[in-house]
Structure 1
Amino acid sequence: MKNVALTAVAVALTSTVAVADGHVDRTGWPESFTVGTASQGGTYFAYGSGWANLVAEELGLSGGGEVTGGPMQNMALVHTGDAQFGMTTMGPAAESLAGTNPIAPGLQMTGACAMFPMYQTPFSVTALASSGITSIADIPAGAKIGFGPAGSTSDTYFPRMMETLGVDFERRNGGWTDLGSQLQDGLLDVIAFAAGVPVPAVSQLEVQTDVNIIEFTEAEQAAILEAFPVSEFNIAASTYTTLEADARSVSMWNFAIANCDLPESFVETVVDVVMSDNPRMVNVHSAARSTVPENYDKNRVLMWHPGAAKWFKENAGANIPDDMIHGM
């Protein structure tokens, strides 16, 4: 632990100097940038807009978060260069590289490169306490379930998970804030979230009404782990006032992505801003507790942007092979 702490201090000191250095080569840097996030009311929007604002302020550029359909659309936007940056989960990233992204079937989106680790996305289910739904098995046949924006990580994987668990449902899509309102108004039976916790829409619901945050049973978790590219995860009891104990779940890692053709010095400096001061990132969103250098190795899918790879090699001792770095 002492070594980890010393490493964190060294990274912070090294990075602060790098950002403050007025001699950074800004050749080819854009005058403004956009970060593809997701719908308002979700973690992606809060987290992505937050780090976009930090970068814009530190580097004296115009930039911010943009509402999108989430990870699948972000892969497409960053690949084409319509957005300089974005955020994605490893599942949608793998599908996009394979050419099975539903936004552009057959197009291998190799123009999007890994930039830095964000956090794990837990999959969780929420229902009104008045519904009597306290488990996956309680969800009635034909239940109306909100799965988030079309093409999002939640919409891509949660319906398949529900089918794997034998749930019969009607699929609904929309932004998280809108789906939360529909649940409260009785228009939905369940909302199935894949988002960093705490999810703003769930936190808002807790203030306004009584909800049940539903965990997977051990058998349900095992079935999902076997069928999907996810890991075990527990949603800490402290995450929501509703929870009295940790809730069993599964999760998928998220990474920030950059268009692979952006200047190396630009991406390196952006990574420096985000990774150099974790407490500041945690102020943006508590999920950023996992936005730390040692989690670079959670990317086993995307090619690294050379600027990002340079930062992690020089500041975090990262072992990134050349064949995982774009253009090498």
Structure 2
Amino acid sequence: MQVQIVEVGPRDGLQNEQKVLSAPEKIRLIEMLAEAGLQRVEASSFVNPKWIPQLADAGEVCRSLPHQSRVRYSALVPNLKGLERARECGLTEVALFMSASETHNLKNINKSIEETFPVLRETAREALALGMRVRGYVSTVFGCPYEGEVPLDNTRKVTNELISMGVYEVSIGDTIGVATPLQVHQVFAALVKDVTTERLAGHFHDTRGTGLANVAAALDEGIRIFDSSIGGLGGCPYAPGASGNISSEDLVYMLHGMGYETGVSLEKLVEAGAYVQQLLGRALPSKVLQAALAQSHRRQPESRAEGGKA
């Protein structure tokens, strides 16, 4: 049984970090992710740098992505201008995004849901005409930091609109990490009535510690595509209190233990997590990463200074 992992750390993970990594550091991280066997990597975002300064170097990063035929790189774009920038960098896939919650959409995009549809439809039409693949994101599906509970009908409407625009896949997001497995069952059971499981993905945050349990629930509903972030990096600038995405290391460990194939080397993934942790200068949330680093540390022989005092 195969599960696809979409690595969103270079974009969703780094966009909320106070420390801004350099373009060469980001490119090296992406190289390590590709070397680990990840075949889908979201490299950056072409939103206005004024809003997400951590990703102001999107053009430089995307022009320097490692050339590996088996790896598909993508970037987030909000409109035609973002699409043009992504195309100039040679990307062949972009992602569109909006919220199931009206207030979060206004905070995030500065437009109502109804005002967002024409912008995304125009962007998707142009991208498809250029021969590009288009993915869609729906945020705040399971709860909104401003409105609380979000009606399921909102998600169904936005998802169906995105599908009608020609997106090949819609990622269903628990932006603030409030979902429980029961909710996940309910939401995906409803969505698969409108959209085939092959065109749906799960995007979970681990704010309340239910991220992997929610993946297991989505697997039960036939979902086989999940977004995750190296080290558990992440959060949303427009969702106060939202912590990181589920960790790629934790996700791969769990999936392999459940008998699923991912094509990803957990050992190399841990190396990538250790690299970005060192760059950021703080411990990352990934439990598998921290366990592996602790085990590695225990294995290292103690250095002894000869002659008594060092």
Instruction: Name the TM-score, length of structure 1 as normaliser.
Output: 0.27
Higher strand proportion (structure 1 or 2)? 1
Task: Kindly indicate whether structure 1 or structure 2 has the higher relative contact order, using CA contacts under 8 Å at least 6 residues apart.
Answer: 1
Instruction: Name the TM-score, length of structure 2 as normaliser.
Output: 0.28
